[in-house]
Amino acid sequence: MLPITLLARIRIFNHLPNRHSLLNILLISTYELGHQPFGLASPAAWLRNAGFKVNCLDLAVEPVQPEVIQKADLIAFYVPMHTATRLAIEQFRHIKEIKKNTHFCFYGLYAPMNEPYLRKLGVRTILGGEFETGLVSLCLRLRDNGNNGSNGIQPEPVVSLEKQNFVTPYRKDLPALSKYAHLCYENAPRKIVGYVEASRGCKHKCRHCPVVPVYNGRFRIVDRGVVLNDIRQQILAGAQHITFGDPDFFNGIGHAIPIIEALHDEFPDVTYDATIKIEHLLKHDQFLPTLKETGCAFVTSAVETIDNQILTLLNKGHTRADFLRVVNRFNELDLVLNPTFMPFTPWTTLEGYRELLQMLYDLNLVANVSPIQLAIRMLVPQGSKLLELEEMKKYILPFNEEKLMYEWLHGDPKVDEIQEEVFRLVMSANNQDASRWETFTGIWDLVHQKLNLPTPNLSEIQLTTTIPYLEEPWYC
């Protein structure tokens, strides 16, 4: 809930004459995994309710609009992930050259993690965690004090985990859902996808996860009515499938299940997907049939690795055997598992990487895994819990401000070399529209050549079910 003082200021502001002309706000998103950004739609609703004029710009699918930028008194960049932050900094540098006196804000998960660097660049306000309240407060103080706002001192907490009463996101100013990633099935029409968040943060403390430095094991739910209203408005706008963008949809199982049951009751033909930990899929096994019954197209789960030692270092909360149990259970229920991986870490071995490929083939999961997942190198951002590991310190290099990460080198240069070659192979295959199977076999051949081993022949598996997937496969 908004603090009483903030609510009072909003009420006073709403009775001022010509209040819409007092401050022009521009919210910018640069990248959000091919989804229409919740991180623009949600604060847009809060700010409009507070009486402000708000424009939204999603540079992932639309060009820069100089006339909108020129009118803005406050420009706030939404940075929910690493890629989005680097792109936002690039845009910020260009815009700041022509808007020197504008107040700039960065908000979202990666804003507080990169606070020192962002402030050095000239960003005035940094907001993380539950940022909507902070954005409203920022706009009120800019209105009261001019663009400098409180003499350049930020009174809002950089990270706020206070509970908020969410409102239905305002999406009318955003590009049409058809411009974003679609759900694909082989030999079937693509589906338009909507995106909602039923919760933020996470109960767990996986060491490599960027959510942990900000939320530190806490999570916040979005009111059920707000989630369902947001789903309804997106379905009215053409959505045929809904992605739940929660870091872990089963963090609040008592919150999640009623939402998908209500979704299915009202819109039985609309499918959905969600991200759920292996640990939660086992703990809440009794609810897996509910996923199938309510139209779950697939579940994404961050498996990361099949090496138990690395899983322990990452504090993932599951083992290799747990992953195999979930695969078997999904096969029993005819549910689709979309496992994601972080195969290249300082502790990865070439033989361990080859073993991962072998397991995916043996488990008939080649079609379930986006090829980019086989090329991902562990990212160590500012504030990462990985930096606390003694096992990490001998590999880490100084923080690279331009890349917004601590670089690291593997003890075996061949592992770093093969990661780069796999990445190039995946990018080339993507440009040529190669199938997942074709890309996988290319990686398979490459790895065996690097290990100086004979390359076993792989027989393409005849799938009994069609594997659905989103067009945008990136997860960093």
157-190: pLDDT as tens digits = 999 999 999 999 999 999 999 999 999 987 788 9
Summarize pLDDT for 87-104 with one digit per residue, the tens. Answer: 999 999 999 998 888 999
pLDDT, tens only, 204-224: 999 999 999 999 999 999 999
**Nearest Cα to Cα of residue 52 among 99, 19, 11:** 19
Q: Quick one: pLDDT at residue 358?
A: 96
Residue 11, pLDDT > 60, answer no
| The predicted structure's pLDDT at residue 476 | 60
How many angstroms separate the Cα of 68 from the Cα of each of 28, 64, 75, 329? 11, 9, 10, 51
User: pTM score, two decimals?
Assistant: 0.92
Q: Tokens representing 106?
A: 């960065």
The predicted-structure confidence for 306-348, as pLDDT tens digits, reads as follows 999 999 999 999 999 999 999 999 999 999 999 999 999 999 9
- Closest by CA position to 50, among listed 153, 146, 135: 135
Q: What is the CATH number of domain 4-160?
A: 3.40.50.280
Strands 219-221 and 405-408: unpaired
Helices (H), 3-114: 4-14, 38-49, 66-71, 82-98, 110-113
What are the angstrom distances between the C-alpha of 464 and each of 184, 331, 364, 367, 467? 17, 11, 10, 12, 9
Q: Left, alpha or beta for 367 (phi > 0: left; psi -120 to 50: alpha)?
A: alpha
Which architecture characterizes domain 177-470 according to CATH?
Answer: Alpha-Beta Horseshoe (3.80)
Does position 148 have pLDDT exceeding 90, yes or no? no
Q: Tell me what pLDDT residue 6 has.
A: 38
Residue 16: CB atoms within 10 Å: 11
What pLDDT score was predicted for residue 7? 37
Average pLDDT, the chain: 91
CA nearest to 209, candidates 402, 383, 343: 383
In this prediction, residue 13 has a pLDDT band, given cuts at 50, 70 and 90, of very low
- Which has the higher per-residue pLDDT, 119 or 186? 119
Cβ proximity of 381 and 82 under 8 Å = yes
Separation CA 378–CA 382 (nearest Å): 13
Tell me if 451 sits within 8 A of 351, measured CB to CB: yes
Residue 353 has pLDDT above 90, yes or no: yes
User: Can you give the pLDDT at residue 389?
Assistant: 95
Q: 22 with 40: CB under 8 angstroms?
A: no
Instruction: Look at residue 378 in the predicted model and tell me its pLDDT.
Output: 97
Task: Give residue 391's pLDDT.
Answer: 95
pLDDT (0 to 100) of residue 189: 87
442/436 Cα distance (integer angstroms) = 10
DSSP-assigned states of every residue in 365-391: -GGGS-GGGGT-B----TT-GGGG-HH
Is 42:132 a contact under the CB 8 Å cutoff? Answer: yes
Higher pLDDT, 441 or 466: 441
Stretch(es) of the chain classified as CATH 3.40.50.280: 4-160
- pLDDT value, residue 465: 64
pLDDT for 473 equals: 65
**52-62 burial by CB neighbour count: b if 16+ within 10 A, else e?**
bbbbbbbbbbe
Q: Concatenate the DSSP letters of all residues of 68-89 into one string.
A: HHHH-SEEEEE--SHHHHHHHH
Contact indicator for 279, 322 with CB cutoff of 8 Å = yes
Given CA atoms 392, 398, 402, 408 in this order, what sign does their dihedral have? Answer: negative
Provide mean pLDDT across the span 237-264: 97
- Consecutive H or E run containing 140: helix 131-145
What are the tens digits of pLDDT across the range 396-445?
Answer: 999 999 999 999 999 999 999 999 999 999 999 999 989 999 999 999 99
Q: Where in the chain is the domain with CATH 3.80.30.20?
A: 177-470
